[in-house]
Amino acid sequence: MKPSEEQYQSLIQIIDRKKIKLTDSFKADVPLTAGWVYGKTFKIFPEKRYFVIPMVPWGHPLNYRIFQYRPLLKREAAFYLDIKTRGLKLLELPFFQASVEAKKIEEELKNQVRKYLLAPSITVSFQRILESQSEYMAHLQVLKMFYAIQIFKEKTGKYPEKLNELVPVLKQIPPDPFTGNDFVYKKQKNGFIIYSLGPNLKDDIVWQFKE
């Protein structure tokens, strides 16, 4: 049985309520690393003259007489914290605004491999995170427009010629998170195709929604 207009509207509202980003999980690491740099999150054992890093196993090398290596680790953590903070700011931006700077950070990490031992190897790829987040958002928005197109067809008996015709159904047309422009929409004889350009920004139709 085909869903009703009310059911399509309900599905659109569910998508609109999805506010959590895939990138939110990376924010918790900054306070912990900041504590590492400034010594706030260390458990201190003065009588044994060493520190223990929370969440690191007791027998881990990082917890073995870390007092002796603290200056080196603080230098590593400071660099890591700087990179992570810059990266998290980028994750608040859409792909088309943040991608170039994310690639610069990755290049900077590659150039610092000999200077820093830990930071380059434990820092995540912000470019890949941006791509994953944008793919997730693109799937949601394409699905949302599919529902809107079905409502439009129920009301008019035809598919829209352009996406901006959906404005009576949607408050605004969501942009492709990879480009900031409209998703690619092509009306066909008995249906339509709608898709994002994706991270390579090429019209090669890697993934599409077709009816």
Q: Among candidates 93, 171, 102, which has minimal Cα distance to 134?
A: 93
Q: Could you report the per-residue pLDDT of 76-109, keeping only the tens digit for each?
A: 777 888 888 888 888 888 899 999 999 998 888 8
- Please give the pLDDT value at position 78: 78
Domain layout of the chain by residue ranges: 22-124, 138-210
Band (pLDDT 50/70/90 cuts) for residue 30 is: low
Is it the case that residue 46 has pLDDT exceeding 50? no
Asked if 185 and 163 count as a contact pair (C-beta separation under 8 A), the reply is yes
Which strands, in side-by-side order, build the sheet including 191-195? 184-188, 191-195, 209-210
Is it the case that residue 45 has pLDDT exceeding 50? no
Give the burial string for 67-99 (b: 16+ CB within 10 Å, else e).
eeebeebeebbbbbbebbeebbebbeebbbebb
- Please give the pLDDT value at position 189: 81
Q: Could you report the per-residue pLDDT of 163-199, keeping only the tens digit for each?
A: 999 998 999 999 999 999 999 999 988 889 998 988 8
- Please give the pLDDT value at position 205: 63
- Please give the pLDDT value at position 32: 58
Asked if 12 and 148 count as a contact pair (C-beta separation under 8 A), the reply is yes
